Structure 1
Amino acid sequence: MYASHLILSADRAALPRFDFPSETLTLESLFANQPTDKFATGEAVFWEGDAASQVFQVAEGCLRLCSILPDGRRAIIGFVFAGEMLGLSCHGTYRYTAEVVAPARLRRLSRARLRAMEEGTEQLQSLLMARVFEEMTAAQQHIIVLGQLGAEERVAHFLISAARRTGADQKKPVTIELPMPRLDIADYLGLTIETVCRVLSKFKRDGLVAPRGRHALVLRQLSNLQDRAGEIDNDAPSERPVAVRSPAVWPA
């Protein structure tokens, strides 16, 4: 296992409460003054089964989250990009290994210190709970992707999800960075690398995407990609008929 230098001493005294500044608290400000560690491509930040003593924010780079199945196969359960948190929903031990795909800088915060901070403000509790809910929603959606969507739908959904994480205006062409190899994308989507390459080539021929440099793709027709993924842009009018459903009414 990775002998982490990040683990705090178990007998450390209880940490004090924290007083946050009056301005609006964000997760970015929470990590602003925390220690930063650099990791090279291929390094593990932590291994599956290590004590989950730290929570991280990715300041730069990209990581893949993976687990090794009993028969030796690798399952990739997600990717983490700059600005996102890592390890928040893990309690006791990390449930996956976090490996660096592109050179990364991570800010770290001990879970003990985070608990002390939570005691000081309800606003922080709400922020952290919202982030855990986001992880749960993403995991539930990924189950649907793997269980119900075809190959083209899966790849299109992956590209659309990457575009959303950039925060860019999705009514215009969006450039996304994909530093991970095609094999990683295939493992994440439950496809073969040949299938992923075939689908991406088809999207290029159809004018939906265009390569830019070694690791970037320009998504040229986002609405078309959303249709390929079985999704509709909620902010744009659609010509598809919309089924009207009555809201659920629960007994008093």
Structure 2
Amino acid sequence: MPRSEPGSTPSSATAPVSAGIGTRECLHCTVRHLAVCSALSCDEVQALEQITTSLPVPMGATLARTGEPRTHVFTVTEGALRLVRTLADGRRQVNGFVLPGDYVGLSGSDQHRYDIEAIAESRVCRVPAVQMRDLRQRYPHLERKLLQRACQELDAAHDNALALARLQPPERLADFLLRLAAREALQGQVGNRVALPMGRGDIADHLGLTMETVSRTFTKLRQQGLIALPHLNVVEILDFAGLQKLANDDLR
């Protein structure tokens, strides 16, 4: 069984751990098909489960800080995290958002390169980095899955860099919403509603815009009939083709 540790509400890398999850729960995890552990057979999952700790991460808590030793890797099973770096001039850069099924720990560095913060009530599966490395050597198909994930993250980083190079905020926001919609489709979400666990300020710091610009751009997309805003944290995409055209026009 995964280890269980006592703890209190985290404000740094140390966070409380609930009772461990069992192999049956691992096999029936709703995001297992998105996670790297999907590469493992039922029997092999038991080996992973032996070194895994289920860890609740309260909203606002910091799972790890920039520069701290990278002693663990994580898979998000609930909620959402953000990867944040503070620049030399004090500005905040949100490098990305970590959603259920995402793996945190694909890095050649021995230290964390970003602050990892919870932007919603979250839960992660935590595995010691050394033991994960041993497991990768034991199961080459897990290593291949991690390589595939690394390639996907590299592609996503290139796409995001291209989006940031665009001059018009509507193009950036349209691209961002479409990427979230594609992710929800992978999770099996049906319909045209996209959840936004991140706030407008996080979106602004991720897209290189001001919060006021992001708010105005949401309003503009709504006025154009591309989206509806039934709730602050929900976007309803009314015109996928129109949103895709907006996001891709500058690539032609």
Partner residue of 1:217?
235
State the SS of the aligned residue for 2:80. strand
Q: Which amino acid aligns with 1:4?
A: T
Partner residue of 1:85?
103
Are 1:204 and 2:213 matched, yes or no?
no
Contact 1:168 1:174 in 2 (8 A): no
Partner residue of 1:101?
119
Are 1:38 and 2:75 matched, yes or no?
no
In 1, Cα distance between the equivalents of 2:182 and 2:172? 15
In 2, Cα distance between the equivalents of 1:50 and 1:28? 25
In 1, Cα distance between the equivalents of 2:155 and 2:98? 15
Partner residue of 1:27?
36
In 1, Cα distance between the equivalents of 2:180 and 2:118? 17
In 1, Cα distance between the equivalents of 2:92 and 2:234? 25
Partner residue of 2:169?
151
Contact 1:52 1:90 in 2 (8 A): no
Output one character per residue of 1:120-174: Cα deviation in whole Å (capped at 9) or x when no partner: 122111100011111111111111111234211001000001011112599x852
Contact 1:63 1:79 in 2 (8 A): yes
Are 1:129 and 2:111 matched, yes or no?
no
Partner residue of 1:118?
136
Q: 1:4 aligns with which of 10, 14, 25?
A: 14
Q: Which amino acid aligns with 1:185?
A: I
Partner residue of 2:8?
none
In 2, Cα distance between the equivalents of 1:112 and 1:231? 45
In 2, Cα distance between the equivalents of 1:134 and 1:5? 29
Distance 1:73 1:84, change over 3 A: same
Q: 1:184 aligns with which of 194, 202, 216?
A: 202
TM-score calculated relative to the size of structure 1 = 0.77
In 2, Cα distance between the equivalents of 1:101 and 1:3? 15
Q: Which amino acid aligns with 1:27?
A: V
Distance 1:228 1:59, change over 3 A: same
Measured after TM superposition, the shift of residue 37 of structure 1 is: 0.8
Are 1:229 and 2:247 matched, yes or no?
yes
Q: Which amino acid aligns with 2:114?
A: Y
In 2, Cα distance between the equivalents of 1:204 and 1:167? 22
Contact 1:173 1:221 in 2 (8 A): no
Unaligned runs of 5+ in 1: 7-23, 233-241, 243-252
Are 1:163 and 2:172 matched, yes or no?
no
In 1, Cα distance between the equivalents of 2:127 and 2:115? 18
Q: Which amino acid aligns with 1:85?
A: Y
Unaligned runs of 5+ in 2: 1-10, 17-32
Structure with greater Cα Rg = 1
Give the number of the structure whose residues are more often helix, by fraction. 2
Percent identical among aligned pairs is 33
State the SS of the aligned residue for 1:146. helix
Output one character per residue of 1:6-25: Cα deviation in whole Å (capped at 9) or x when no partner: 9xxxxxxxxxxxxxxxxx9x
Measured after TM superposition, the shift of residue 54 of structure 1 is: 1.0
In 1, Cα distance between the equivalents of 2:71 and 2:206? 26
